[in-house]
Amino acid sequence: MEKDLSVLEQKIGVKFNDQEFLRQALVHRSYINENPDFRLGHNERLEFLGDAVLELAVTEDLFKTYKNPEGELTNWRAALVNAKTLAEVGGGLELDNFIYLSKGESRDTGRARQYIIANAMEALIGAMYLDSGFATVKKFVQDKIIILLPKIIESGLYKDSKSFFQEKAQELTGITPSYEVLKEWGPDHAKNFLIGVFLENEKIAEGEGLSKQEAQQVAAENALQAKGWSGPV
């Protein structure tokens, strides 16, 4: 069933020259698996492009706006482009109402859905870039994503548990943590990962997530608790 995307265009503040770019950004792999004759492919190539374009847009804005050291800018950028932030922005735009999903995926409203929304945000930015160029992307990113930076800084959300655990481990034990995938399961479009964090041969904690990066962050948070080391705010 075709979705009326003009409402979404109003929400994102961008009118597409070719609305098919926008539509494809919203097609999840599960929908194609269930509807193989749909005229458009899934959004993963646009997601790949959008991830890079988003990072460049955020990097350029931070570089021009702030004189802070590289390490702080890197942490701020990571907080702005991670799945949690993108899902939050996508939720505010009600992106979920426009994504093409299989019947099974459409019933799942948990963490997996948040990850799908975040990926669709990246695909949306990729589509925006192809349709009308980098200037349009920059304005969208400034209006919808970078505007969250003051809240991120104030609440300490830019502090990265994985980096913090590494700093504490090196300081207190002289060992650099390593991460190992212990288990992965689920279909390609909804993988789950269980990752262990180790200090040499000792497993300190485990973490589960919908990407390796997310699972590593959760493992690091759990490791900080297990060691009794104060984590990020």
pLDDT in tens, 161-218: 888 888 889 999 999 999 999 999 988 777 899 999 999 999 999 999 888 888 998 9
**Average pLDDT of every residue of the chain:** 91
What strand order describes the sheet that includes 192-199? 178-185, 192-199, 202-209
- State in Å, rounded, how far the first CA of the chain is from the last one: 45
pLDDT for 233: 46
Q: Which residue spans of the chain are classified as CATH 1.10.1520.10?
A: 6-155
> Would you call 167 a catalytic residue per the annotation?
no
Mapping DSSP to helix (H, G, I), strand (E, B) and coil, where does residue 180 land? strand
For residues 42 and 40, give the distance between their C-alpha atoms in angstroms, rounded to a whole number: 7
**pLDDT at 151 > cutoff 50:** yes
Q: Which residue spans of the chain are classified as CATH 3.30.160.20?
A: 161-227
Got the DSSP string for 138-203?
HHHHHHHTGGGHHHHHHHTTT--HHHHHHHHHHHHHS---EEEEEEEES-GGG-EEEEEEEETTEE
DSSP state for residue 43 in the 8-state scheme: S
Confidence of residue 86 (pLDDT cuts 50, 70, 90): very high
Q: Annotated catalytic residue: which of 105, 122, 206, 214? A: 122
Provide the token pair at 88: 């939050």
Q: Annotated catalytic residue: which of 51, 61, 131, 160? A: 51
pLDDT digits (tens, 9 = 90+) for 13-67: 999 999 999 999 999 999 999 999 999 999 999 999 999 999 999 999 999 999 9
**Nearest C-alpha neighbor of 120 from the set 87, 145, 154, 167:** 87
Topology at the third CATH level for domain 161-227: Double Stranded RNA Binding Domain (3.30.160)
What superfamily would CATH give domain 6-155? Ribonuclease III domain (1.10.1520.10)
For residue 196, what is the enclosing H or E element?
strand 192-199
* pTM for this entry: 0.76
> Would you call 188 a catalytic residue per the annotation?
no
